Amino acid sequence: MAESASDKLILALPKGRILAESAPVLHAAGIDPEPSFHDEDSRALRFTTNRPDIDIIRVRSFDVATFVAFGAAHLGICGSDVLMEFDFTEIYAPVDLGIGRCRLSVAEPADLAASDDPSRWSHIRIATKYPELTKRHFAARGVQAECIKLNGAMELAPTLGLCHRIVDLVSSGRTLKENGLKEIERIAEVSSRFIVNRAALKTRPEAIGAWIERFRAAAHGAVADAA
């Protein structure tokens, strides 16, 4: 039976750095977006692909998880940092794509770090984009973390007196260094995952299961058979 437009699978991709890193993985999985997808001036948010059965939507990275968790998108690519923050039970993350590698860390001003003793903390105030994950992490060792939610430029918070500590992503460590901060604890290693909506996997196991295998193969560097 021919698939109708409403049968199309929706793949949610994040804007920003993961989008660029995703391109070779998508291609290896057999998906090539329409040319306007690469046009930075385009205001379109939904794009067709070379595959009649799959469209792409381009949203903010936190929103990829939300679209997939609620079934508005069936598939997605998303950082494990975002998945840990939301902890959505409706998302299944079967493939580590090995892109967007960084770590989630606690940092504080270098001069404070020289004398600070984290084992004596009982209550700390932290600026972060990841309040839930941060609270869970510290609660597990009996520390109450009061989180101030920021959406970027966390590294400014200690210098401007918002709080002494931050939880943020670190890759080269350059952003911390240039803002006088020192990484004092790694909370988690981060990479991007191929994710699927669990209910969609139950109702369309063949179609979605095949995409899981294609992305798994693509992540392992194999060029999937796009036929």
Ligand X SMILES: O=P(O)(O)OC[C@H]1O[C@H](OP(=O)(O)OP(=O)(O)O)[C@H](O)[C@@H]1O
Residues between 41 and 80 that touch ligand ATP (CB under 6 A): 60-62, 79
DSSP for 134-150, please give it: HHHHHHTTT-EEEEEE-
**Cα-Cα-Cα-Cα dihedral of 201, 58, 168, 121, to 10°?**
-50
Stretch that binds ligand X, among 46-54, 74-82, 93-101, 166-174 (CB under 6 A): 166-174
Binding mask 15-34 for ligand ATP (x = CB under 6 A): -xxx----------------
Q: Would you say the C-alpha torsion 24, 26, 29, 32 has a positive or negative sign?
A: negative
Cα 145 to chain centroid, rounded: 23
- DSSP-derived secondary structure letter, 168: E
Stretch that binds ligand X, among 90-98, 162-170, 201-209, 212-220 (CB under 6 A): 162-170
Assess 174 for contact with ligand X (CB under 6 A).
yes
Cβ 125 to ligand X shortest distance, Å: 19
Query: For ligand ATP, which is the closer residue by CB, 134 or 192?
Result: 192
Cα–Cα distance, 134 to 144 (Å, whole number): 10
Binding region for ligand ATP (CB under 6 A) = 14, 16-18, 60-62, 79, 81-82, 100-102, 151-152, 169, 171, 190, 192
